[in-house]
């Protein structure tokens, strides 16, 4: 089994072991100098002879690029994986067991706002409530020099943005969206909406048979980012609307190359978009239309209901939809669409 095959969480326990005189034995041996009395030990379920103190941590640099090579807790930061408006995500490795994880560290300027920090921590706590095969696992949460960071599962694959370079087959779109619905259903059962579903927050991991396994990222992040109308819509209806928009863009090959959230357009933000090409199965088009209904009450009542409708659409052979069957004029004006092959991207 390769390192990338291991996706289970490894618990890390921090304890202090002292001798009767108050000193901390080195590697389970005799007492040391009293100056080491406050030293910490990391227990990985090993006997005392394997206890080692963590390296002394220097202050984190403010520059994201300078984070590489730094020590955060018991992890060494190896390289940057990506960055956004809130922080930077880095590949890291545990010093003792060489387990690789992804660590997200907030940007320095974000930490200047206590409210932002509090919401970030709340988003992390939210993730711990959901344990699901299609939702990224959170291992740990910490603070370093006033900068919160979270340690999560390291994924090897690509985002939906990178994967969808053109129109996708309807069966593949349904497979991806049903996995997304499974993840959303698990979150909604805990009273948690994603609120920021977009191509960049959907990660794909190919399995041994070539099937793309979906992992959802960024739960709770919507509350940290400004929305066009000034308030994020953290609701089940908004999540299901986003699934419909993503499905329409995937089958058309017009997925946003910028990975913006597929949020409902606020009043006055509608934009007319070119119709989808012919060849979209009519059963699937009806499902997507209902998911994107203008009134939330006209959409599917749950992620499970949308999932069932998507699966049923594959079995139906109800012909092919008219090129204009999917009314995509309700897409947000700030949602950048990819034009025909070779064409310049549409302006925002």
Residue 66 and residue 89: Cα distance in Å, rounded?
13
Residue 74 and residue 320: Cα distance in Å, rounded?
56
Using the structure block, give the residue that is written with the tokens 């992390």: 124
DSSP code string of 35-98: GGTT--EEESS--GGG--PPPPPPPPPSSSGGGTT-EETTEEEEEEEEE-SSEEEEEEEETTT-
The pLDDT value recorded for residue 73 is 86
Could you state, in order of their start, the residue ranges of all structural domains in the chain? 3-11+63-153, 158-330
The pLDDT value recorded for residue 234 is 57
Beta carbons within 8 Å of 39's beta carbon, 6+ residues apart: 16, 24, 53
Give yes or no for a contact between 174 and 186, defined as CB atoms under 8 angstroms apart: no
User: To 10 degrees, what angle do helices 236-252 and 170-189 make?
Assistant: 170
Give yes or no for a contact between 276 and 251, defined as CB atoms under 8 angstroms apart: yes
Q: For the domain made up of 158-330, give the CATH fold.
A: Transferase(Phosphotransferase); domain 1 (1.10.510)
In this structure, is the dihedral angle defined by the CA atoms of residues 258, 262, 266 and 269, taken in order, positive or negative? positive
How far, CA to CA in Å, does 55 sit from each of 37, 97, 102, 200? 16, 15, 20, 35
238 forms bridges with which residues in the sheet? none
Residue 95 and residue 81: Cα distance in Å, rounded?
19
Residue 57 and residue 69: Cα distance in Å, rounded?
12
Residue 127 and residue 104: Cα distance in Å, rounded?
14
The pLDDT value recorded for residue 317 is 52
State in words which class domain 3-11+63-153 has. Answer: alpha beta
Residue 235 and residue 264: Cα distance in Å, rounded?
11
Give yes or no for a contact between 178 and 304, defined as CB atoms under 8 angstroms apart: no
Using the structure block, give the residue that is written with the tokens 């709340």: 122
Write down how long the chain is: 348
The pLDDT value recorded for residue 329 is 43
Taking the complete model, does pTM exceed 0.75, yes or no? no
72 forms bridges with which residues in the sheet? 75
pLDDT values of the chain reduced to their tens digit, one per residue, 348 residues: 444 443 333 333 333 333 334 444 443 344 444 333 333 333 333 333 333 344 445 455 445 457 888 888 889 999 998 887 778 899 999 989 999 999 988 888 888 888 878 878 877 887 788 889 999 999 988 888 878 888 999 999 999 999 998 889 999 999 999 999 999 999 998 888 888 888 888 999 999 988 999 999 887 665 444 433 334 445 888 899 989 989 988 988 877 444 444 444 433 333 333 345 567 788 898 898 899 888 888 999 999 999 999 999 987 754 444 344 444 444 443 343 333 333 333 333
Give yes or no for a contact between 122 and 102, defined as CB atoms under 8 angstroms apart: no
């Amino acid at each position: 089994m390769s390192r990338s095959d291991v996706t289970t969480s490894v618990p890390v326990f921090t304890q202090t072991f002292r001798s009767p005189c108050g000193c901390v034995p080195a590697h389970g041996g005799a007492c040391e100098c009293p100056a080491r009395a406050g030293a910490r030990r990391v227990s990985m379920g090993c006997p005392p002879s394997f206890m080692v103190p963590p390296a002394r941590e220097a202050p984190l640099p403010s520059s994201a690029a300078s984070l590489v090579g730094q020590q955060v807790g018991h992890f060494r930061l190896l390289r940057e994986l990506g960055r956004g408006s809130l922080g930077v995500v880095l590949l890291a490795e545990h010093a003792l067991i060489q387990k690789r994880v992804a660590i997200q560290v907030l940007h320095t300027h974000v930490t200047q706002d206590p409210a932002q920090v509090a919401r970030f921590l709340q988003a992390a706590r939210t993730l711990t409530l959901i344990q699901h095969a299609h939702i990224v696992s959170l291992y740990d949460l910490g603070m370093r020099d006033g900068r919160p960071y979270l340690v999560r599962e390291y994924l090897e694959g690509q985002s939906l943005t990178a994967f969808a370079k053109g129109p996708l087959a309807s069966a593949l779109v349904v497979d991806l969206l049903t996995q997304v619905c499974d993840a959303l259903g698990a979150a909604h059962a805990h009273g948690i909406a994603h609120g920021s579903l977009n191509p960049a927050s959907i990660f794909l991991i190919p399995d041994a048979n070539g099937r793309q396994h979906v992992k959802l990222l960024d739960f709770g992040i919507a509350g940290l980012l400004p929305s066009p109308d000034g308030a994020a819509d953290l609701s089940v209806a908004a999540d299901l609307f986003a699934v419909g928009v993503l499905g329409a863009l995937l089958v058309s090959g017009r997925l946003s190359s910028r990975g913006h959230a597929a949020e409902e357009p606020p009043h006055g933000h509608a934009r007319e978009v070119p119709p989808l090409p012919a060849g979209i199965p009519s059963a699937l088009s009806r499902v997507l239309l209902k998911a994107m209904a203008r009134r939330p009450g006209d959409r599917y009542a749950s992620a499970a209901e949308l999932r069932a409708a998507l699966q049923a659409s594959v079995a139906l052979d109800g012909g092919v939809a008219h090129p204009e069957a999917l009314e995509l004029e309700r897409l947000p004006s700030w949602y950048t669409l990819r034009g025909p092959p070779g064409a310049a991207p549409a302006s925002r």
